[in-house]
Amino acid sequence: MSSTAGQVIRCKAAVAWEAGKPLVMEEVEVAPPQKMEVRLKILFTSLCHTDVYFWEAKGQTPLFPRIFGHEAGGIVESIGEGVTDLQPGDHVLPVFTGECKECRHCKSTESNMCDLLRINTDRGVMIEDGKTRFSKNGQPIYHFLGTSTFSEYTVVHVGCVAKINPDAPLEKVCVLSCGISTGLGATLNVARPTKGSTVAIFGLGAVGLAAAEGARISGASRIIGVDLNPNRFKDAKKFGVTEFVNPKDHDKPIQEVLAEMTDGGVDRSVECTGNVNAMISAFECVHDGWGVAVLVGVPNKDDAFKTHPVNLLNERTLKGTFFGNYKPRSDIPSVVEKYMNKELELDKFITHQIGFSEINKAFDLMLQGEGLRCIINMET
């Protein structure tokens, strides 16, 4: 066990004290892990749109002060009671959703939506005792998504920690703990295009480009990117995208445009925007008889998906996915191996690298729509 096991650790954390205000670098206290928890030393983290969305707190109940962050890589510092499959020194990726391995979902080969540990954006405390492990001068600081990686040390439920190959570079594979795996798995695990097939990707942000990467790995012959921002088209070629369609350039529904381009419709489509109209287009653009559309983007709570039932009766399939249908503990280590085997390319997703002290710059970059993933080195 480490020399700090069982003790409170004082370390740097970027604390959000209120909505939309710059994070403040603070010295915080991180309590030891309790039953079925582990304390991690975070080495690299990155910023995801979900962090920004809840930091802005425009569409949900605000919960502050809070430590955000959920895409990261680190090392186990100490373990709590009952933890048997992790040891101090293990290289890990904390994940915003979990796998208890005991519930119906975890025992099912078809689901990754753990009853105990599935994503909960409102909870700011640990499930073991309903308390936080972070504090400053006695004041509790809330967790985010059970991970809170914008801290040099964090405490996470063991079911939300994937043990990975210690040779894998954490500054690269940390991006697999959220968005990249979500898009990649949506294609590889859910859409499952066959070699030579045609795939449409709606939305060419990081998740959409990861979905395109999945289509490239699958051997799709045509990967059609759909986006309203023409500046994204050039970079998308690196991810295997072969053609680009901007709905603004056409005076007819984009599903009709795609159907004309592909002799009746694409074989597979993956929707990564969260815009309900894009979701409808993604479904209606797939070919009858065998077409499959997969929804990844999260819609607004009042949205309604509307399409004619005949589109389903004509043997089109509509599917949804959560975290690319990956089980965090069981499956993410194998995704890391895809990178180690040079089957999956990650470097092209990483467009910026900064030190922890500059973390607010990462927020600025994302708000300006610059780049895909900004890696934050916790030790600089």
pTM for this model (two decimals): 0.96
Q: Where are the alpha helices (DSSP H) in 108-261?
A: 170-173, 179-185, 206-218, 232-236, 254-261
In the residue annotation, 174 being an active-site residue is answered as: no
In the residue annotation, 315 being an active-site residue is answered as: no
Which among 106, 174, 285, 374 is annotated as catalytic?
A: 106
Which among 26, 48, 272, 273 is annotated as catalytic?
A: 48
Q: Please write the tens of the pLDDT for every residue from 15-64.
A: 999 999 999 999 999 999 999 999 999 999 999 999 999 999 876 778 99
Q: Please write the tens of the pLDDT for every residue from 114-163.
A: 999 999 999 999 999 999 999 999 999 999 999 999 999 999 999 999 99
In the residue annotation, 160 being an active-site residue is answered as: no
In the residue annotation, 308 being an active-site residue is answered as: no
Which among 50, 147, 149, 273 is annotated as catalytic?
A: 50
Instruction: For helices 359-367 and 49-56, give the axis angle rounded to 10 degrees.
Output: 90
In whole angstroms, give the CA distance from residue 177 to residue 272. 17
In the residue annotation, 374 being an active-site residue is answered as: no
Q: Please write the tens of the pLDDT for every residue from 203-255.
A: 999 999 999 999 999 999 999 999 999 999 999 999 999 999 999 999 999 99
Residue keyed to tokens 């599903």: 255
Is residue 14 within 8 Å of residue 23, measured between CB atoms? Answer: yes
Cα 324 from chain centre: 9
In whole angstroms, give the CA distance from residue 53 to residue 44. 21
Radius of gyration for the alpha carbons in the chain, expressed in angstroms and rounded = 21
The conformational region for residue 372 under phi > 0 = left, psi -120 to 50 = alpha, else beta, is alpha
